[in-house]
Amino acid sequence: MDKVIAFTFARAGSKGVPNKNIRLLHGKPLLQYAIESAHACQLIDKHYVSTDGDAIKDIAKSLGCEIIHRPESLASDSASEWLAWQHAVQYLVARGEMSKSDIFVSVPCTSPLRTSADISSAIEAFLTNTCDLALGITEADHSPYFNMVKMDSEGVIETICGDETFTRRQEVPVSWNITTMVYVTTAEYILRESGVMDGRILGVKMPKLRAIDIDTEIDFEYAEFLLNR
């Protein structure tokens, strides 16, 4: 039977929020929220943390995760997250700890309000649908058909999807944001393709309140506010 293996990819460096992955949020390191939500998901068999940071390794080990050392070349601000995914899968496959048909579940640090139920819903959706990868989405507040624009070099703007003219927000097609709550695929897909959106991708609806993605100080403060409530 195929295993379901969770991964959290946590670099030591972060410019938007310094030391983001180990910074305390409501009394716990941000990384801990990802680990706890994955460990509470009964569908997951094992959890690895891929990192280049010693402090991250220590926290992950103390919480029962196994470590994959992330090479320096894959830990810079410009490094591709997909290449880090491929490195982790290649490492485990080479060690005989993962087969190409096993289920890969990415549980990022940046969505601390995500629950184990959110992870389970994405895994179940992937397993019961014909798709290459499933990821969490939430309805967007702004639409590229109506109130999202692009600007030219002279400051002139136009709607991003400008082929049709809409005068009311209610008329436009529903747009969705990709969240960082959870991604589900197979080891085989990661090794074969070059990016998340290369195949048939299934969107799994997630609650907007839990879909916060921490990328800036304001995001961090907002997450703290929500957790304090």
Quick one: DSSP state of residue 93? H
Contact 12, 55 (CB under 8 A): yes
pLDDT tens per residue across span 18-55: 899 999 999 999 999 999 999 999 999 999 999 999 99
Mean pLDDT, the chain, integer: 93
Are the beta carbons of 133 and 199 closer than 8 angstroms?
Answer: yes
Please give the sequence-ordered ranges of beta strands (E in DSSP) within 103-194, or none if there are none: 103-106, 133-139, 149-151, 157-159, 176-186
Burial class (CB in 10 A: 0-12, 13-18, 19+), 228: exposed
Q: Which tokens belong to 184?
A: 């589900």
* 3 state SS of 200: coil
Supply the pTM of this predicted model. Answer: 0.93
Domains and CATH numbers, the chain: 4-137+178-228 (3.90.550.10), 141-174 (no CATH)
User: Can you tell me whether residue 84 is helix, strand or coil?
Assistant: helix
d(CA 95, CA 118): 30
Tens-binned pLDDT, residue by residue, of the chain (229 aa): 799 999 999 999 777 788 999 999 999 999 999 999 999 999 999 999 999 999 999 999 999 999 999 999 998 888 899 999 999 999 999 999 999 999 999 999 999 999 999 999 999 999 999 999 999 999 998 888 888 889 999 999 888 887 666 667 677 888 999 999 999 999 999 999 999 999 999 999 999 999 999 999 999 999 999 998 8
- In the chain, alpha helices (H): 30-39, 54-62, 81-94, 116-128, 187-192, 217-228
pLDDT at 30: 97
46-51/66-69 β-pairing = parallel
